[in-house]
């Protein structure tokens, strides 16, 4: 059996949209009863067995990095934007601004990558395809 591969996924979106609840549900298979505000980042992990029980079985340790969404911490978030494999964008269906702000989140990540903080150079193109144009929504 092959070694377990580590996958780092950033979970991004505005404050209060449900990132922590989403991550908890994915990693623990049940809803969280009480949610605390995320300051900085909280990392949770999920072991995923791909093609379990077949000759092609592979194990993945998926690290979900729940990045705090406070606007006041925007300058410090770039420390988390390196060596990741994918992004999950989360918004609140009842808050149109949180959907519009997803472009800001992608611009923030792009900016950190452009400044050389990424290092891996690999990212699924599907996650970046809608962020060709960055604009200020305020």
Is the residue at 137 inside a domain? no
Q: How many domains does the chain have?
A: 1
Residue 29 within any structural domain of the chain: yes
| Residue 71: closest CA among 95, 98, 44, 43 | 98
At 50, is the secondary structure helix, strand, or coil?
strand
Supply the CATH number for residue 92's domain: 3.40.50.300
Mean pLDDT of 120-136: 36
Question: The domain containing residue 67 runs over which residues?
Answer: 5-128
Tokens for 95, please give them.
């808050």
Between these two residues, 116 and 112, which has the higher pLDDT value? Answer: 112
Check residue 7 and give its pLDDT.
92
The band of 130, judged by pLDDT with boundaries at 50, 70 and 90, is very low
Angle, CA 109 vertex, CA 105 and CA 114 arms, to 5°: 145
pLDDT at 92 over 90: no
SS3 83: coil
The reported pLDDT for the residue numbered 20 is 92
pLDDT in tens, 39-82: 899 999 999 988 878 888 889 999 999 999 998 888 889 999 98
Look at residue 137 in the predicted model and tell me its pLDDT.
Answer: 34
């Amino acid at each position: 059996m092959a070694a377990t591969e580590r996958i780092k996924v950033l979970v991004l979106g505005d404050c209060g949209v449900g990132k922590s609840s989403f991550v908890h549900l994915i990693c623990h298979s049940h809803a969280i009863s009480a949610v605390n505000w995320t300051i900085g980042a909280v990392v949770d992990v999920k072991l995923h067995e791909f093609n379990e029980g077949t000759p092609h079985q592979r194990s993945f340790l998926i690290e979900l990095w729940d990045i705090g969404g406070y606007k006041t911490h925007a300058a410090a978030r770039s420390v988390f934007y390196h060596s990741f494999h994918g992004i999950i964008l989360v918004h609140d269906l009842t808050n149109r601004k949180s959907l519009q702000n997803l472009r800001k989140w992608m611009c923030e990540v792009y900016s950190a990558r452009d400044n050389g903080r990424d290092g891996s150079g690999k990212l699924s193109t599907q996650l970046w395809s809608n962020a060709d144009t960055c604009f200020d929504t305020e």
